[in-house]
């Protein structure tokens, strides 16, 4: 009996130690926007949370409908990932949120923004995004066409582990604002937009912008990671407009890998493996009004 109790005690201690070592990834899903099947921040984050739940050593907590109301939402966070509408109403620059994220980044907490969440005004959050994730989308400088980039080549980086060539038609942003020195920035998803893509129309404003057209033939970056000075990490992912694309194993893998990496969790040799069913993709969509008849 004593031996059994001792064995049980050590097992409990080992379990508690393992749980204490789990990396805590905080997911923030923005408020509903756009027609059904687009900008499904809550449903998309729920899918990614379910995938992370199957990953040893990671704990994922989801806060829906915008900035968390709980004062302790970021206690013990190793990474904060925000998937939301951006621009001037970006939750990162409302009230004192910029100061909160800045303090967490200073402590080494990883930060990631996805899709519209990478867009921020140059004079209201732009400098902070350069510090937190290494770049951002600037309206009328960056552009957001609907197109099908062919992701064929990937860097030797943990976030690219196990990712195979893929393509899907989505609102993939490019021509980000970068700092003068791009030290610490590693492009993950890159492709060359065609002349037709550069010529527009873009989603908004429709363009075309002369500086985008003039850069014909240049390879563009649609996802990147950033090693911040001091040891913190960040990433920006510009896809994710269309909810159904979370069913793409490679898109899902590269984002899940990034979530682990910014949290300083070990990315598996073959990347994060996950499966998403058609039923899961169809679940938890935000209630949205039907499109108006023309």
CB 45 within 8 Å of CB 61: no
Give dist(CA 273, CA 74) in Å, integer: 27
Q: Which residues contact 52 (CB under 8 A, 6 or more apart)?
A: 25, 58, 60, 256, 259, 272
Give dist(CA 150, CA 226) in Å, integer: 23
pLDDT at residue 282, as a whole number = 95
Pick the closest to residue 276 from 247, 251, 256, 243 (CA basis): 247
Q: Which residues contact 175 (CB under 8 A, 6 or more apart)?
A: 141, 142, 143, 211, 212, 215, 220
Residues of the chain predicted below pLDDT 70: 1-21, 291-294
pLDDT at residue 242, as a whole number = 98
pLDDT at residue 288, as a whole number = 80
pLDDT at residue 289, as a whole number = 73
The alpha carbon dihedral of 269, 275, 280, 282 has a sign of positive
- Helix %, strand %, coil % for the chain, to 5? 35, 20, 50
Six-digit token pair at 14?
């080992």
**pTM exceeding 0.85:** yes
Query: What would the pLDDT profile of 110-130 be if each residue is shown by its tens digit?
Result: 999 999 999 999 999 999 999
pLDDT at residue 179, as a whole number = 94
Instruction: Give the residues across from 119 on adjacent strands.
Output: 137
Q: In 242-254, which positions are buried (b, 16+ CB within 10 angstroms) versus exposed (e)?
A: bbebbbbbbbbbb
CB 163 within 8 Å of CB 253: yes
CATH level 3 topology of 23-137+179-188+221-282: Rossmann fold (3.40.50)
pLDDT at residue 19, as a whole number = 46
pLDDT at residue 4, as a whole number = 45
| Tally of CB atoms within 10 A around 260 | 26
Pick the closest to residue 222 from 232, 245, 210 (CA basis): 245
List the domain boundaries for the chain.
23-137+179-188+221-282
Give dist(CA 82, CA 149) in Å, integer: 23
152 CB-side CA count, 13 A? 7
Question: How does strand 23-29 pair with strand 79-83?
Answer: parallel
Give dist(CA 137, CA 176) in Å, integer: 5
């Amino acid at each position: 009996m004593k031996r059994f109790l001792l064995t049980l005690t050590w097992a409990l201690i080992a379990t508690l130690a393992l749980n204490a070592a789990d990396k805590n990834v905080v997911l923030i899903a923005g408020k509903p926007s756009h027609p059904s099947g687009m900008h499904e921040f809550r449903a998309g984050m729920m899918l990614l949370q379910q995938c992370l739940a199957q990953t040893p050593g990671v704990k994922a907590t989801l806060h829906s409908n915008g900035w968390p109301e709980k004062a302790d939402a970021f206690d013990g966070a190793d990474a904060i990932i925000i998937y939301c509408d951006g621009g001037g109403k970006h939750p990162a620059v409302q009230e004192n949120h910029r100061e909160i994220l800045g303090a967490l980044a200073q402590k080494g907490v990883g930060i990631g923004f996805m899709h519209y969440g990478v867009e921020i005004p140059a004079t209201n959050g732009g400098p902070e995004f350069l510090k937190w994730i290494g770049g951002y989308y600037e309206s009328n400088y960056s552009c957001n066409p609907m197109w099908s980039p062919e992701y064929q080549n990937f860097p030797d980086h943990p976030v690219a582990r196990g990712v195979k060539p893929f393509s899907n038609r989505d609102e993939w942003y490019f021509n980000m604002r970068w700092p003068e020195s791009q030290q610490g920035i590693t492009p993950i998803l890159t492709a060359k937009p065609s002349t037709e893509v550069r010529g527009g129309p873009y989603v908004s404003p429709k363009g075309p912008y002369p500086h985008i057209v003039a850069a014909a033939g240049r390879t563009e970056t649609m996802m990147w990671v950033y090693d911040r000075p001091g040891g913190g990490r960040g990433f920006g992912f510009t896809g994710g407009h269309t909810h159904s694309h979370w069913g793409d194993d490679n898109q899902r893998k590269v984002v899940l890998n990034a979530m682990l990496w910014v949290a300083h969790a070990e990315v598996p040799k073959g990347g994060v493996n996950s499966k998403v069913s058609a039923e899961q993709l169809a679940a938890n969509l935000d209630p949205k009004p039907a499109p108006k008849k023309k």
